[in-house]
Chains A and B, each alone.
Chain A
Amino acid sequence: MSRHNFKIVLLGEVTKGRVGKTSLTLRFVKNSFDDHQQSTIQATYLQKELRIGDKTVTISVWDTAGQERFHALGPIYYRNADGALLVYDVTDHDTFIRAKNWVKELRKVVGDDITITIAGNKSDMKNRQVSDEEVAEYAKSVGAVHLHTSAKANRNVDEAFLDLTKRILEKKSSAPSRTELLGKQNSGIIIDNTERRVTRTESRMYGKNGGISVADEPKTTQEQKQCCG
C-alpha cells in the first residue's frame, strides 16, 4: 500500500460577505457546521486521511486569507500546491469573477501541475446569481471541475474534496512514488538521485514559485516588487 501527501489550497474572496470556504473545510474534516460552537476551532490548517482504492492519502488543506489587501501574499501559500479549491458564492456573481481571476493567476504562477476544483457554495440558497451554463462552460474551458456545494446542508462537500483528491492522484500516478524509488537503493549514501527528487529539490533551491528565494527568477521577482511596493 502506498502513501501520498497532497497539499490543497483553499481560495475564496472575502468582500461584503463570506463565501464560506472555512465552513466547507470544517464540514469536510470534522463534519460539523458552525451554528453555536462552544469551543474554539482552529481552521487555518486542517488535514484528513482518505482511503482511495488501496491508497492512503493525507490531504493538507491550507486556508488562505481572502481579504483583497492580502492578495499579493497568495503565491506564498499556493506554491507547490497539488490542488486548489476555489470557492465562490452562488448568490454573488462578483465572487465568481474573483474565482475566475484565481484560476488565471494559478495557471500563470503554478502552471498546469495544479488540479483545480471550483465550488459554488451556498447552493441551498434560492437567489442564485450565477447560471449553471455559464459556470459549466467556463470550468470546462480551463480544465477544472465545477460542483455546487452547501456546507450548511452538507451537500456535495465530501464529493468536492474526494473528487479533487482523486484527480490529483490520477495526475501523479505516472510519477514513481518514494517507496518504489527506495527499492533501487542499496547503500547508505547515494549522492546521485532520481529525477523526481532533483526536480523537487531544485525547484525549491532556485526559487521557482518561491516567495522569498526569488533573486534569480524574473517572474516572481516582479511579483515581489508588487508586494513590496
Chain B
Amino acid sequence: MSPPFNVSVKRDVAYSPRFHPSSPTNTILVLTPRSSRSSSVSSVGLQQGLLQNEEIIDDTDEDLHTPDQHTVTIHNKFWNSEFDEDHEEEAQSRFRNSSIESARSVIHNKLKSSLYTSILSQKEVEVDLDIEYDNDDDNMPDLSLYLHQIKIFLKSVAEQQKYENLFKESAVAPLQDDYHCIIFLKNTSEHLMHRHKNQLHAQSTGCELEYSDIYEILERILFETQDHFFYNIFIKDVGRHFNAVKSNDQIFFDKSSDCLARVLKDLDLYYDSETFKVEYNEAIKCLKSISQIYSPTKKLHCITRASKKTMYSMTKKSAISTSHGETIISTDHFLPVFICVVCCTHMPDTFTQLCFLNKYANEELLIGEHGFYLSSFESAAHYIISQDHENTN
C-alpha cells in the first residue's frame, strides 16, 4: 500500500527573501495528496493537526487548498513583535530552527489525528498514515479491535460503578475504579505501541508516534467522546471526594478578584494591575482556556503554552532586568510573574482543574516539562489563597 500523500518540508524557505523574519507568516509545509479520495481525509486530519498546534500555526488559507496541494501557513511566534535589525543574524538562525521544528510538529500531529480518526471510525487498516506496510497479516494493526475493547471497557466501568448516579446529587458512589481507567490507558497504549512499533511512523520524515502520543489519542477517546461523559464524571468526582478542593476553588475565586495589586507589590513587581493585565493578556487568556479543554494532555499543553507566553512577555518588557539586570529567566524570576498571571485568570475552578490533572494526566508527562509548569500553576494558586489571608489579618 502506498502512502496516501507525501509530506515534504521546504527547508529552503527560511533562506528565501520572501520569508523574511519580519514577515508575520511563513509558508513552510506542503502536503501533496496522491489521489482525490485521500485528499478530503487528509484535509480533515490536517485541520485537526493544526488545531492542536495553534500556537505556532495561525491559520490556513482556504484559497490555497487545491485538489492536489495543501499549503499550511505558519505563524512564527518569534516575529510577532517588533523586529530588531541589529540581531538579524541571530534571529534568522533561531527562525530556521523553529520553523523546521514547527513543520515536524505539524506532521507529528497529523500522524496522531490520523490514528485517532481511524480508531474512532472503526475502519480496519484504512489508516490515513504515511505507513509502509509489509504484507504480513500478523503485523497489521487491527484498530477496530481496540475500539471494541475501549467500548466494552467504558460500558463495563459505567455499569459497575453506577456512574450515572453520580449525576444525581444524592448518590455518593465511591470512585474506586478511577485509577483503573488510567491503568487501562497505560496498558493499551503500551500494547499498541509495542505491537505495532514499526508501523507508527512516517517514513519520509522520520516522525514517529511514541508511547505518550498513543496515550494521548486513547485519552482523547476516553474524555472527548460520548458528550464528555467521563470527563464530567471525573471532574465532579474530584470535587466530591476532596473537600478542600471545592473550598479552595471558592477561596481562590474570591481572593483573586481583589488581591492582584497587593500581590504585585509583595513580589516586587512594579506594575499597576491594569498595565499588568494588558501586558500579560495573552498568557492569561491562554491559561483561562483550560476549563474548555477536556483531554488532560491538552490541558497540560495549554498550561505550558501559557507559561511560555508569560516568559515571552517578560523578555519583551524586560520585566526581569529591573530586579536583577540579566536575561536568564530562572524560577526565581518566573514564579512571581506567573503567580500574578494566575491571579488574573480569576477562574472559579482552579483547584478542581489542578486536582483533575494530578490524578488523571499521563504521569510520564508529569516528570517532564509539562509537569514542571503544572507544579508552577499549582504553586501560584496556593500562594494566592495563602498570601492574601496573611495580609487581611
- Which residues does A use to contact B, with CB under 8 Å? 5-7, 14, 18, 21-22, 26, 34, 37-45, 47, 60, 62-67, 69-70, 72-73, 76-77, 80, 178, 182, 185, 187-191, 193, 197, 200-202, 204-205, 210-215, 221, 224, 227-229
Contact = CB atoms under 8 A, between A and B. Distances in A.
Interface in B207-252: 241-245, 248, 251
B368 interface: yes
Given A73-B382, A212-B248, A224-B244, A44 B367 contact: no
B373 A45 contact: yes
Nearest to A34: B328
The 3 closest A-B pairs by CB, nearest first: A229-B389, A22-B330, A73-B379
A157 to B, nearest CB: 16
B244 A212 contact: yes
B326 A65 contact: no
B243 to A, nearest CB: 6
Contacts of B390: 229
Contact of B186 (A39, A43, A197, A205): A197
B82 interface: no
A22 B287 CA distance: 26
Q: Is the interface of A mostly helix, strand, loop or mixed?
A: mixed
A41 B328 contact: yes
A178 B190 contact: yes
A70 B383 contact: yes
Contacts of B43: none
Given A185-B194, A205-B359, 4 more contacts: A76-B382, A211-B375, A221-B244, A228-B251
Nearest to B314: A40
B126 interface: no
B369 A45 contact: yes
B182 interface: yes
Interface in B95-131: none
A61 B149 CA distance: 38
A188 B243 contact: no
A191 B184 contact: yes
B363 A37 contact: no
B329 A41 contact: yes
B187 A37 contact: no
30 contacts: A22-B330, A34-B328, A38-B87, A39-B327, A40-B328, A43-B331, A47-B369, A60-B368, A62-B375, A65-B332, A65-B379, A72-B386, A73-B382, A80-B367, A189-B187, A189-B188, A201-B179, A202-B179, A211-B358, A212-B248, A212-B354, A212-B378, A213-B242, A213-B358, A215-B241, A215-B243, A227-B382, A228-B248, A228-B389, A229-B386
B134 interface: no
Contacts of A18: 332
Nearest to A214: B244
B187 A185 contact: yes
Given A204-B358, A215-B244, A22 B328 contact: yes
A217 to B, nearest CB: 11
Nearest to A202: B179
Most A C-beta atoms less than 10 A away, residue of B186, B332, B363, B382: B332
Contact of A70 (B182, B191, B335, B389): B335
A45 B372 contact: yes
Contact of B368 (A47, A178, A182, A191): A47
B183 A185 contact: no
B358 A212 contact: yes
Most B C-beta atoms less than 10 A away, residue of A22, A73, A77, A227: A73
A66 B336 CA distance: 11
A21 B160 CA distance: 51
B351 interface: yes
Given A72-B386, A189-B187, A200 B363 contact: yes
A189 B153 contact: yes
Interface in B154-195: 178-180, 182-184, 186-188, 190-192, 194
A73 B383 contact: yes
Interface string B360-391: 00011011110111011011001101110110
Contacts of A64: 331
B191 A185 contact: yes
Contacts of A227: 382, 386
Contacts of B355: 212-213
Contact of B183 (A38, A43, A201, A213): A201
